[in-house]
Amino acid sequence: MIETNLPVLLLKELILLPFNEIRIEISKGEDKKVLNISEQNHENYILCVNVPDFVEEKPSIRHLPKIAILAKIKSKIELPNGLVRLVLIGIDRVEVLNYVEDNDNNLYSYVVSTKEYDFDEMEATALKRILLKDLNEYIEISPYISNNVLGRINGINNIGRLSDIIAFELPIDYHDKLKYIEMTNPMNRLKLTIEDLHKEIETVKIEDEIETTLKSKIDIEQRNYILREKIRLIKEELEEDNLKENDIKEIKQKLLSLQAPEKIKERIQKEIEKYEMLSDNSPEVGIIRNYIECLMSLPWEISTEDNKDISKIKNVLDNSHYGLNEIKERIIEYIATKDICDKDQSIICFVGPPGVGKTTMAKSIANALNKNFVKISVGGLDDVSEIIGHRKTYIGSYPGKIIQGLKKVKSNNPVFLIDEIDKMNSNNKSNPIASLLDILDKEQNNRFVDNYIEEEFDLSKVMFILTANDLSSIPTEIKDRLEIIELNSYTIEEKESIAEEYIIPSLNKEYNLNLTFSDKVIKEIIIYYTKEAGIRELNRCITNIYRKHITYSYDGNEIEDIKKYLGNYKYKYLYNNKCAKPGIVNTLAYTPYGGLVLKTTSVYYKGNGNIEITGQIGNVMKESTTIALSYIKENSEIFNIDYSLFTNNFHIHFEEGSIPKDGPSAGVSIVTSLISTLKKMTIPNTVSMTGEITLRGKILPVGGLKEKLITATISNIKTVYVPLDNKEEVMEIDKSITSKLKIKYVDDYMEIYNDLFQEK
């Protein structure tokens, strides 16, 4: 049997053996996803893989075992609290040939049946009789196993199945039981089962002796002492190492020096007492030990001393980021006001395309203030437990991302970056946005309670900073609490300066080289090998040049022939003016990743007046298309267009089909494209435009002007039509951009029509 792409469910501190059932409650979003994949694609079959106990979070593939249990979901119940209760039945041991992860971080496996073994039938029969005899004796003297197990094994001759059923019922240690998964030889499992059963019989007899001895010596009121004494005597009889007692002594020693409120110390002390009382075989041992460790590792009263020197803060920001003077000034004002006035302010939120320095700016703030820095990403997160933690009573539970971050940096006043806030999701069952609101609210975050730690933690000293690519996608309820600071796209000149002053000197130092790049070469890299608002791709390209220079031992230090290092041009912005045809119009667009010059193309053909729109567009652009066509129909006489043409079918396509597009700013381009098609007149390829249009031809303002105009300058665009209401915004844009363009401000579409279509 070979099964491919079998979904994987990770287990910790829980054992499933073939021919047995376990009940488990699932809370993590990724585990729920695995269950859905199993139901939909694999007939409820799933691979149960035990995670090594040294792995705290999701393990890497190289840590996962090669022997696992093939299981089937017998039943699944979705509980009101968002949990999923499962009954899993073990089918067989399988050998994992390979683990793989898909693009959504789902884990899959390629499995094959384990090796078949030959064994002596007579020896097997003898061992089976010994096992059954010992089992009957154990059931008679022990309260730990029910005699129902005898009914389960009645009539079973397969020694592998027999040992799996009995071993599963034995109250042995987790690590001891884990051996049964890894042991594929049924004869060896049978022998191991007999050995473990003998140990349990002897242990029960010793327990009875201890019970009898203690009852005669100690009063019933000293119950707690009895329990501890029982554990001690059992360990002495079995000649085991006293590891747990040493562990408890170490914990108590650490507790004496722990910087935490008395309430927390008392809670830890109670958990230690529970830990002492439990047997090593109890499944709660690991849960309580992990909980104690978590409480003691949190920085309850540990803070770093802030740097309050504004001039030093300014110097750090200047040395770490080129330009962005207005942004730096706003940050310094925010920090100074917060410190001097000692009053709560809104949370800083950096908004801008990828690669413009949002994360590095947050790191610089932490460095300038002498604070620790921690970052978490909430993009795509839809499980509230990831924010506020899981209940510690569940197997495999852990604290939320906030507590995990504080545990990592070991201070209660770090700069805490919450990345991709605009990509956070909510659903009917879980609303992480609401939980995040409580965390960001200064009025109540001093009493933040994570579900795992179950105690209040003061977050008021934490400096939260958020980042987003798209301001419009930030949930309204969160946006109200934010101090929005927008980081716009870099100009070509700014990218050149960053490359010359930061990237190249840094790489020369890193690779111990002295390479030089002319302004022409740097500009060539920016225009023809990168297409971004920030500088990530630029940094990668220049780094790649250094690697190629070292690898192939190129002569000289001056970089000239860039194609030798980076190959042929990756992007070609320059358009050929001779290729202009009716219906093709350049559209200035803005995406979360920067500006684009897209071609809007329209055609018409015989039909019944239907309109088709392609290019991965959203509902707003579809509405803009409908508005554009209605506007043209109403003014067909003014535009000198035969109204009978509107009985044809129309097809409008927006280039760069792989990029999702939406928004009203393509309205004027759509109108222009349709008129161009209907009048069979061409629009120069050096002309581009942006603006929302109404049914009456009014042109409304749009966003992303800086990014749009930057792209226009490198795309051989000479003339740009911009809404009149955007004039003040354009005037604030760097002259190095606007001086290269002829910008025409328009308030009504007739101004564009008279300029482009009016017969001379």
**Active-site residue list:** 665, 708
Task: With H, G, I as helix, E, B as strand and everything else as coil, classify residue 625.
Answer: helix
Rounded Cα distance, 526 and 182, in Å: 55
649 has which bridge partners? 605
Helix axis angle for 284-297 and 243-257, nearest 10°, is: 20
Nearest Cα neighbor of 601 from 621, 580, 622, 618 is: 580
What are the helix and strand counts (H, E) for the chain? 28, 24
Q: Give backbone dihedrals phi and psi of 653, rounded to 5 degrees, phi first.
A: -125, 135
**3-state DSSP percent of the chain in helix, strand and coil, to 5:** 45, 20, 35
Q: Give backbone dihedrals phi and psi of 253, rounded to 5 degrees, phi first.
A: -65, -45
**H helices present in 376-467, as ranges:** 385-388, 401-409, 432-440
**Cβ-contact 344, 390 below 8 angstroms:** no
**Cβ-contact 96, 65 below 8 angstroms:** yes
DSSP-derived letter for residue 661 is B
DSSP-derived letter for residue 617 is B
- Name the token pair of 316: 């750090």
- Name the token pair of 665: 């700013």
Please state, as a whole number, how many other Cβ atoms lie within 10 Å of the Cβ of residue 590: 24
Dihedral of CA atoms 298, 301, 304, 305 in degrees, nearest 10, equals: 170
Q: What angle do CA 140, 142, 146 make, to 5 degrees?
A: 80
Rounded Cα distance, 46 and 37, in Å: 9
Rounded Cα distance, 611 and 679, in Å: 18
